């Protein structure tokens, strides 16, 4: 469940979730707007552990239509929404966004998400990305050498065959947040004279996770 209220006003436990609306016709808070405010309150509570006591719809006239937000009503509403999503997914056999992915060289070329896209990482071919090298696996070693950082990766996915499963991304700037034991993906790195060493270039994407993402 994701979303973000336009504003949250107040302090302490006396908070009001405010949603701004253009073209507002009602004088009060319509039922569908009330449900929306309850969901925003639920999201706020999940993140900040404070249930906003009120919600408000604000039109272009600057007038706020205020309604009390009942916590149990909000929790019931969210539970019902989530169970409907589950029922829909079960009925359609949909098991996640992964099923919608259809990676190709052209489709993925400019996608910022490809370092996190398992479908892309499994499908990427040697000639995609103008010959850039892509690989993913657990970072087995992270070492600073002078002013640069080198990361050794136990490669499990990649668009090339290396003489060793341990490959290196060398010459990263210090300060890049990656540590041994993390799962990393490196997209579109440059080859070097060594078949196991690769360098970042301006378009290289590096992602890291504390735990291996879902396959």
Residue 107 in the binding site for ligand SF4 (CB under 6 A): yes
Residue 111 in the binding site for ligand SF4 (CB under 6 A): yes
**Chosen residue from 69, 114, 128, 170 binding ligand SF4 by CB under 6 A:** 114
Look at residues 84, 89, 60, 66 and name the one whose alpha carbon lies nearest to residue 17. Answer: 66
Q: Please, which residue, 15 or 124, has the CB nearer to ligand SF4?
A: 124
Dihedral of alpha carbons 115, 212, 180, 156, sign? negative
Structure tokens given for 92: 């359609």
Please state, in angstroms and rounded to a whole number, the distance separating the CA atoms of residues 78 and 92.
21
Rg (Cα) of the chain, in Å, rounded?
Answer: 24
Residues in the chain: 215
Binding mask 44-83 for ligand SF4 (x = CB under 6 A): ----------------------------------------
* Site size for ligand SF4 (CB under 6 A): 11
Look at residues 102, 118, 92, 194 and name the one whose alpha carbon lies nearest to residue 152. Answer: 194
Residues 83-102 that bind ligand SF4 (CB under 6 A): 101-102
Binding site for ligand SF4 (CB under 6 A): 101-103, 107-108, 111, 113-114, 117, 119-120
């Amino acid at each position: 469940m994701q979303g973000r209220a336009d504003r949250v006003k107040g302090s302490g436990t006396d908070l009001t979730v405010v949603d701004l609306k253009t073209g507002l016709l009602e004088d009060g808070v319509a039922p569908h707007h009330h449900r929306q405010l309850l969901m925003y309150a639920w999201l706020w509570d999940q993140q900040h552990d404070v249930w906003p006591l009120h919600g408000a719809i604000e039109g272009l006239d600057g007038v706020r239509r205020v309604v009390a937000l009942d916590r149990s009503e909000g929790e019931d509403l969210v539970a019902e929404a989530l169970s409907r999503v589950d029922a829909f997914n079960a009925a359609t056999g949909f098991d996640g966004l992964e099923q919608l992915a259809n990676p190709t060289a052209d489709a993925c070329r400019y996608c910022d998400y490809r370092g996190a896209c398992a479908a892309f990482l499994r499908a990427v071919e040697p000639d995609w990305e103008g010959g850039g090298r892509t690989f993913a696996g657990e970072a087995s070693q992270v070492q600073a050498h002078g002013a640069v950082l080198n990361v050794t990766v136990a490669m499990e996915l990649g668009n090339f065959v290396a003489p060793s499963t341990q490959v290196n991304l060398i010459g990263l700037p210090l300060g890049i947040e990656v540590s041994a034991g993390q799962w990393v993906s490196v997209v579109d790195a440059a080859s070097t004279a060594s078949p196991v060493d690769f360098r970042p270039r301006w378009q290289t994407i590096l992602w890291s996770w504390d735990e291996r993402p879902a396959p």
